[in-house]
Homo-oligomer: A and B are copies of this chain.
Amino acid sequence: MPTIEVWFEFASTYSYPALMRVEALAQRAGVEPSYKPFLLGPIFASQGWDNSPFNIYEAKGRYMWRDLARICEAEGVPLRKPSVFPRNGLHAARIAFAGGQQAWVPPFVRAVYRANFAEDRDIASPDVLSALLIEQGQDAAAILARAASPEVKAGLREQTEAAQRRGIFGAPSFIVGGELGDELFWGNDRLEQALTWAAKP
């Protein structure tokens, strides 16, 4: 089965509709998604930004929220503008990283995005993350402990470095491997194209 790497950051606005849609779309396309949480913070910092570019560049930010609202409406994805943006997705990313390719990870990822962008909940809070893990039938305390381990911390850091090394500069990003090397796609609006690329013989 062909695969697609799905690189995402929980604070990223356009990652929200992409991650809500990718599992179903990938299944329909006969493509296996590989979930790659990473952090935009260090990548933005290396570009000289200490905040989301949507906060730094006001007109771009204003446009993004309107564009995102149109996208979510068209896709039937609920959206409530978070009262804090960007929210800190570090702990959630460590949990998703710790979960690897386990079956609970995709629905957990969607639950975190929904909490952030539809329910305006603080996804940096251990209580919120615990609740979301329990909803997935998981042992929240054990997973939170594992997510705080040195191995997972280092693993997520290395994954973020790998993202940057492979040319990723924003989220969501999709990488499709092939004989001619990696093909990178950036943005929710490139998801369908990336899946088509992955599925082609």
Q: Which residues from chain A sit less than 8 Å from chain B, CB to CB?
A: 47, 57, 59-60, 62-63, 66-67, 70, 164, 167-170, 184-186, 189-190, 193
Contact = CB atoms under 8 A, between A and B. Distances in A.
Given A47-B57, A59-B169, A67-B186, 5 more contacts: A59-B164, A62-B167, A66-B184, A67-B185, A189-B189
A57 B47 CA distance: 7
Contacts of A57: 47, 169
How many copies of this kind of chain does the complex include?
A: 2
Contacts of A67: 185-186, 190
Contact of A63 (B59, B63, B184, B189): B184
A169 B60 contact: yes
A82 B189 CA distance: 26
A59 B168 contact: yes
A111 B63 CA distance: 30
Contacts of A186: 63, 67
A59 B189 contact: no
A192 to B, nearest CB: 11
Nearest to A66: B184
Nearest to A184: B63
- Nearest 8 CB-CB pairings of A with B: A59-B169, A60-B169, A189-B189, A59-B167, A47-B57, A63-B186, A63-B184, A62-B167
